[in-house]
Structure formats: C-alpha cells, structure tokens
Amino acid sequence: MLHQNIYFHNVTELETSSHTPGWKLQRFPKEVRYSLEEKGRTKAVQSNGCELRFVTDAKHVRVMVSSQESDGQVLVFKGDFLHSSHQLKAGVIHTLQLEAPERFPDVHPEVLNNSAFSSKVWRVFFERINGVFHGIEAFGFEVRPPHSHEPPRLTMFAYGSSITQGAGALSNYNCYVQQTGRRLGIDVLNLGLSGSCYCEQGLADHIAERDDWDIGFLEIGVNMRGVYTVEEFQQRAVYLLDRIIERHPEKPLFVTTMYPNRATYSQEGSAIFAYRDSEQQFNDVLIRYAADKKHANLQLLQGEQIMSDFTSLTSDLIHPSDYGHIRMAEALSGMIQPVIDRLRTEQIQLTMNTTYRGGSI
C-alpha cells in the first residue's frame, strides 16, 4: 500500500490510535485479526517482513520509526545490499540517519542491479516487532515509491507457524521464507502466525481474496496438534486450500507436510509421544487431499526434505537455528525454482506479445 509516497510492503493496513502517534504497520486488516483466536490476534500485529520502500535523489534521508511494545531491530537495505542495522527501544521514536552509499558510483551499474531490486530503492525492513512509522525527511528532494521494474516482478505469500514467521533465527531476515525469496529473486509476504496457525475461516477467506501474490506456500498442521482433532484439522485445511484454489486456479500453490521435530523422534512414554501419531495423521490429510484433488498447480512437498538435518534445530527441538533456516531455504528454493523459471518465461512472452500487438515491433 502507498502512504506519503512510500510503498509499504507486506502491509495491508496502516492503523492509527488516539494514544499512540504514528502509523502501525499491520500485516492483516483489523477485521481479519479480530476473527482469529486470541493468541493469533497477538501474533498478527507483529510487523515481521514489513518494509518501507522509496526512491529519492537525496543523499541524506531521515526516517522516523518506533517499536510499540518491545525492543527490536530494523535493517536498512539499498536495493539488495545491506546498508545498516538499527536497534529500537520500546516506545521511543528513533530517527534513522540514512546516507546514500558513496561507493556505488564507482562500479558498473549492471553489477548493482543484477538481482531482485534496483539499487535506487531504499528498504527499511522490520524484524518481529510491532513496527510504527512516523515520518520521512528528504530535505526538499522528491520521495517516490519504486516503479514497477525496480522491485521483484514475482511475489510469494507464506502462511504457517512460528517456523514460517521466523522463530529461531537471530534475524527475521534470515528466516527460511525470506531467504527463499532472496535466492529466487522474488518478494515475500510473510503471513506466519507463531503458535496460532489454525487455518481459521476468516484468515482463509482473506488469503483467497488477495490478488497481490503469484505463488503460495503453506506450512500448516504443527500448531494444531493437541488442539484440534484430525477431523477438525481436515475440515479447516480443506476449506483453506479449496478457497485459494477456487479463487486462483492458475496460480502455483505449494503445501508442505510438517517439519521434523521432537515429536517425530519421540520415545515411547515421553510427554510428547502422542503427538507423533497425530503428526502422521495430519500429514496423511494433506497427502490424501493432494492425491484426490489432482490440481495441476498444487504441489505437495515433504517437510523432511526441506528440513533434512535434525541438528539444524535449536535446542527446543522445534525451531530452526539460523543454520537451519538457511539450509531449509536452500532446499525449498530448489523445489520452487522450476516454477519461478516458468512464470518468468511467461512474463517475457506476455510482454513481447503485448508489444507486438501494440505495433512497436
């Protein structure tokens, strides 16, 4: 969405309140957040993966941001290049002093602009905090949102548990879905909900009704063990997948079974042992769905092939470490790459056909 000539990536709503200055970056509209179960509502307000994106000729820019409830971090990029990191204290408005990289003019432009983003684009990336935007100062220079050719042309949404939201990674930028996007040169809409990926109807309808994505990725099931029966999981998962496929039959959709965790290898008699059976039953629901649906654009992925090294978990034996997230991104991006290549080829052909019909060739 656009505000003050800035493009707000992964933001569907800029929320204001009488007791808090600025605009809170919301990944989900209020009506969707309030349709979730209680824990999901507290996770949905986290701004992980939200970005401020803008272009300006100003060599010095000030961006005012804050974290509403907890200390946290924002990362600043110039195109694909990491520019700086900034620590935010909860409730304190911070002014990010950004200076255009002095060494960019020394190198050939093609090496600055041969990946996902134009090197002209400033990107302020929010970690897993309740991010707030307060304003921008470019000292009279124009500030504009990126043109259509300056960010990636393709976008993937990712819905899932805390693993997808980025838990375990020291920086949210290193979580596996963000790293998958980086490897593939695509944008990511991170819709992960820590401990509360429950496939609620309101959330399913929201994802299905969105048109701002080209590829979908879903990691569902692990949060629903011990909370819902197999039948309830099946009902919710089927509704979610059916709604997305019915609304976007032409778009590629990837669904993964659960990633290995302590329950996968639990010893008989342990407190988590009962989860092992429910994991397999939940996975079987997804396997049967994919087999019965026979949808050409639906691909079922095996979680153990994405997270193949059990020691890539942190010691809680559920969330990947930075090493684990990066290993997962390497595997997942390889699985998605053929689809990305096909979509890019289709985009090129569409552009060529449109240009030809317009008489420019």
Please determine, looking at this structure, whether the domain spanning 155-345 carries the CATH number 3.40.50.1110.
yes
Helix, strand, coil percentages (3-state) for the chain, rounded to 5, are 35, 25, 40
Choice among 28-42, 233-247, 266-280, 298-312 with the minimum mean pLDDT = 266-280
pTM for the structure as a whole: 0.95
Candidates 1, 6, 5; CA nearest to 15 is 1
Fold classified for 2-144 = Jelly Rolls (2.60.120)
Instruction: Inform me whether the pLDDT recorded for 195 exceeds 70.
Output: yes
* Residue 39, SS3 per DSSP: helix
pLDDT band at 354 (very low <50, low <70, confident <90, very high): low
CATH 2.60.120.260 domain span(s) along the chain: 2-144
Question: What does the mean pLDDT of the chain come to?
Answer: 95
Instruction: Inform me whether the pLDDT recorded for 361 exceeds 70.
Output: no
* Residue 221, SS3 per DSSP: coil
CATH 3.40.50.1110 domain span(s) along the chain: 155-345
Q: What strands lie across the sheet with 13-17, from one edge to the other?
A: 13-17, 20-26, 131-137, 60-67, 94-99
Per residue in 322-333, pLDDT tens?
Answer: 999 999 999 999
Residue 19: the pLDDT is 82
User: Which contacts of 329-332 are long-range, i.e. CB under 8 A and separated by 24 or more positions?
Assistant: 329/176, 329/177, 329/178, 329/179, 329/180, 329/182, 329/183, 330/183, 331/305, 331/306, 331/307, 332/176, 332/180, 332/217, 332/301, 332/306
Buried b (16+ CB within 10 A) or exposed e, 187-224: bbbbbbbbbbbbbbeebbbbbbebeebbbbbbbbbbbb
Q: Taking the alpha carbons of 108, 338, 158, 147 in that order, is the dihedral positive or negative?
A: positive
